[in-house]
Amino acid sequence: MDRRDFTKGLAVAGSASFLARPVPRAVTIPLPSTAPKSMAMVMYPGMFPLDLIGPHAVLGGHFPIHLVWKSRDPFNALGITFTPNMTFADCPEVDVLFVPGGTTGTIAAMEDEECLSFLESRARSAQYLTSVCTGSLVLGAAGLLKGRRATSHWAVRDSILPMLGAKPVAERVVVDGNLVTGAGVSAGIDFGLSLMATFAGEEMAKIMQLNIEYDPDPPFQAGSPEGAGAELTGRLTGYYGPFLKDVERAARAARRAT
Amino acid sequence: MDRRDFTKGLAVAGSASFLARPVPRAVTIPLPSTAPKSMAMVMYPGMFPLDLIGPHAVLGGHFPIHLVWKSRDPFNALGITFTPNMTFADCPEVDVLFVPGGTTGTIAAMEDEECLSFLESRARSAQYLTSVCTGSLVLGAAGLLKGRRATSHWAVRDSILPMLGAKPVAERVVVDGNLVTGAGVSAGIDFGLSLMATFAGEEMAKIMQLNIEYDPDPPFQAGSPEGAGAELTGRLTGYYGPFLKDVERAARAARRAT
């Protein structure tokens, strides 16, 4: 599929008139033919937007990415309105399958039969199964993590992943065969660059890194429980309390994972 | 404004029914009273989504954030449909004003009288004027950077910012009085954490950093021209070619900046 077909596909997929008048892309970075031909990023009410937008900033615009959910109705995620461009029913087989994380909305996705059966079915033909943050718990609820090494947000990694049959790994990006999982939220950028290197080579991943000026310089070193220290980690875990209780219940009830 | 008023405000602002049924937030992190009471994030067709979503991941959900453009019609940005929740005309005075970057869409924003006069007017009462990536060029076109230290994406920082009256600074986050600008794309996360520390103290910024697990570990060191080296930087600059030409023309024509 060349760029023209891709643009045509977008126009057909979108019923709203604005999609027929796309903003021209000033910057086109050609990928080698080893790049995937298609990707489905699941998106859902209450997802944490950066989980999806981080990898999308690296991977987006270079091959067709379907933004998929049960319906194409707009929904709210952290106060931002997102609109899927394809339903589960309309989504074809894809090379790469991706699920972002979140909190309450993620639990709803873990319990949604339509979502789980979509993942189960498309996973059979996908070359890569991927997630960022608590998105791995949705893959787990779909029965896709059994016996596999995976990561998730630090707050649920060691407690919830094993309940879904996975072997938790405390790394930023974990690759186990065709399963690629990223740690919490911002790890999606490291995850996206790792995937791009796999798809298109290190040089292309480096160009994408330069494109998004990813030369991180956090003002503090509090991005991990170890860096933040016990007091701050304890306070944040306290704020997570109700979510942690509910996600544990959802993991125990995930029948596909057992 | 407490959380209940905020939720009510969102429901009033949104005409679509899904906004009346917000996904419950499982995680609420209380901010001190020094935090801003309101923020307007400009969003526009062709913006680079991560420019906005990076800072939003740190700042979002804690005080009302208006997502503002000329109309509330959905638009396309890198293949993702975004929907503003407020028009320029309806946007009140806010504590924090923010503009994300992009390429072709950013040039259109630099040339849009309605956008520029909104920024000019709300800047008079805002406590902070802020941007990420080429968003600073839009602030500059609105005449808001004259004589001030600022940054932008590396590809335009030293060439275009001076044409808009700014003094370019090669740092990830640049603070000049009430003007806070971030470098390219992914710098928005560092920028957001810096702002949160200013608003709510270092401890709160650290909690937000832990919340998004921002413990970056780029697989390569190519996030700056120095790190990527001359060959890759030259190739990417070549892909930027048409944009760089057009943005220079737009900067020369920016009458408010002179």
Set of chain A residues whose Cβ sits within 8 Å of the Cβ of B235: 207
In DSSP terms, A74 is beta-bridged to none
Shortest CB distance from A81 goes to which of B25, B83, B211?
B83
Cβ atoms of B49 and B18 within 8 Å: the answer is no
Q: Which of A157, A181, A47, A184 is nearest to A102 (CA)?
A: A47
Of A29, A218, A232, the CB nearest to B190: A218
Catalytic residues of B: 133
C-alpha B195 chain-centroid distance: 12
Q: Which residues, given as ranges, of chain B have pLDDT below 70?
A: 1-26
- A26/B240 CB distance under 8 A: yes
- Please spell the DSSP secondary structure of B115-180, one letter per residue: HHHHHHHHHTT-SEEEEETTHHHHHHHTT--TT-EE---TTTHHHHGGGGT-EE--SSEEEETTEE
* Residue B70 CB neighbour total at 10 angstroms: 18
Q: What is the pLDDT of residue A4?
A: 40
Q: Name the closest residue on chain B to residue A183, using Cα atoms.
A: B213
- Name every chain B residue with its beta carbon within 8 A of the beta carbon of A223: 209-210, 212-216
Chain A: residue nearest B245 by CA?
A: A26
Tell me the per-residue pLDDT of A148-184, one tens digit each, with 9 for 90 and over: 999 999 999 999 999 999 999 999 999 999 999 999 9
Say whether B228 and A212 touch across the interface (CB within 8 A): no
- pLDDT in the model for residue A122: 98
State residue A23's pLDDT score.
47
pLDDT of A5 over the 90 cut: no
DSSP type of residue B24:
P
Nearest chain A residue (CA) to B189 = A218
**Complex ipTM value:** 0.91
Q: Average pLDDT, stretch A30-46? A: 93
Question: Residue B145's closest CA among B171, B166, B161, B159?
Answer: B166
pLDDT, position A30? 84
Q: What is the DSSP letter of A35?
A: S
pLDDT tens digits, A194-211:
999 999 999 999 999 999
Closest CA of chain A from B150, distance in Å: 16
**Beta-carbon count within 10 A of A147 CB:** 8
Which residue of A49, A104, A187 is in closest CB contact with B25?
A104
Residue of B69, B73, B61, B56 whose CA lies nearest to B105: B69
Count of beta carbons in the 10 Å neighbourhood of residue A256: 17
* Residue B92 burial class via C-beta count within 10 angstroms: exposed 0-12, middle 13-18, buried 19 and up: exposed
Q: Residue A133 catalytic? A: yes
Tell me whether residues A57 and B65 touch, CB distance under 8 A. Answer: no
Segment A56-84 shows an average pLDDT of: 96
pLDDT at A184: 97
